[in-house]
Amino acid sequence: MKNWVKIVGICLLVYVHTAGLLAEVPRLNILNETIRGLYFHVPMWFGMTFLFTVSVYYAIRYLRNPSPELDRKVLEYANVGTVFGILGILTGMLWANYTWGSPWHGDPKQNGAAIALLVYLAYFVLRGSLDNQEQRARLSAVYNIFAFAAMIPLIFIIPRMTSSLHPGSGGNPGFNAYELDFRMRMVFYPAVAGWILIGLWITSLRIRLKTVEEAIIELEDEK
Amino acid sequence: MKNKFLTALLSLFTVLAAQAQASTVEMADTMRSEGKIYVVVGIVLIVLVGLIVYLVVMDRKVSRLEKQLSDRQR
């Protein structure tokens, strides 16, 4: 990963964390100042979806042309994506506690996100339960595609078909006003881009570490 | 004519009502006017910058490891 990309990511996040607290936001009942949570909670999900998409891309590439290198990429993108998802769940629970009344509201999107994360956690369980490296890589790549195919409807389709407290689905007038707010977009989009870049950076670090680790094991075996 | 007037009046009321509602929504205005919001911004930025510095240090460490490894592989 190029150094200037990392710097762009850092600058975006510094801007987001300043403007996210200082810039004007719409005055809405119930939400009040917590509307700023949008700048920090939602980018976690965008980051997760992005990293999972890259992961499934490498999973397909692995199945077409297997190599340990691609397997490492599939694993680490899914790994960092899951971290983003867990942060998304936790921030969402805190936010929901003060605006919806309880941390777990049984909201379709909340439930869907939790199930999707469990599906991805099973990916790591599957990997951990296989010893043969090739078998583990192949089976988990297939499972990764399934997990991705399960996540998309769970997070993006089903919640929109039923009524949900999340914006963009069902009846939710409290949120609709900001969906078109230009001032908020000026902070929200940089937040999404910044977190995706930082997520890519962390993933690239993990892939490099794993590569070094496996090369060392190989060296030890040669001795 | 009368209808148009009524519509205009009604829309005016709607706008006024919306504005009145907007100004009564409670926001952290006192905190902002006291300037204490900058303290929060400072705290958040310290955490963010600290984590990023940590990430940079790790990045360097991995680069060093990669270099050591390539020296040994030769």
Q: Give me the interface pTM, i.e. the ipTM.
A: 0.78
Mutation target to probe the B interface, by most B beta carbons within 10 A, among A33, A187, A213 is A33
d(CA A137, CA A123): 11
Task: Chain B: give the shortest CA distance to residue A149, in Å.
Answer: 32
> Using CA atoms in the order A188, A193, A198, A199, what is the torsion angle rounded to 10 degrees?
100
**Selected residue with higher pLDDT from A125 and A30:** A125
Tell me whether B15 touches chain A (CB under 8 Å). no
Predicted pLDDT of residue B11: 57
Q: Inform me whether the pLDDT recorded for A131 exceeds 90.
A: yes
Q: How many CB atoms lie within 10 A of CB A222?
A: 6
What's the confidence (pLDDT) of residue A174?
45
Domain count, chain A: 1
Note the pLDDT tens digit of each residue in A2-48: 899 999 999 999 999 999 999 888 888 888 888 888 999 999 999 99
Q: Is the dihedral of CA A32, A33, A35, A41 positive or negative?
A: negative
At residue A171, the pLDDT reads 45
Q: Which domain range does residue B39 map to? A: 2-27+35-73
If phi > 0 it is left, if psi is from -120 to 50 it is alpha, else beta; for residue A211 that is: alpha
DSSP state of A129: T
The range of the structural domain enclosing residue A125 comes to 3-222
The beta-carbon neighbor of A32 closest among B25, B37, B59 is: B25
- Per-residue pLDDT band for B9 (boundaries 50, 70, 90) equals low
Of A17, A33, A212, the CB nearest to B45: A17
In chain A, the percentage of residues whose pLDDT exceeds 70 is 94
Least confident of A98-107, A128-137, A189-198, A201-210: A98-107
Counting the structural domains of chain B, the total is: 1
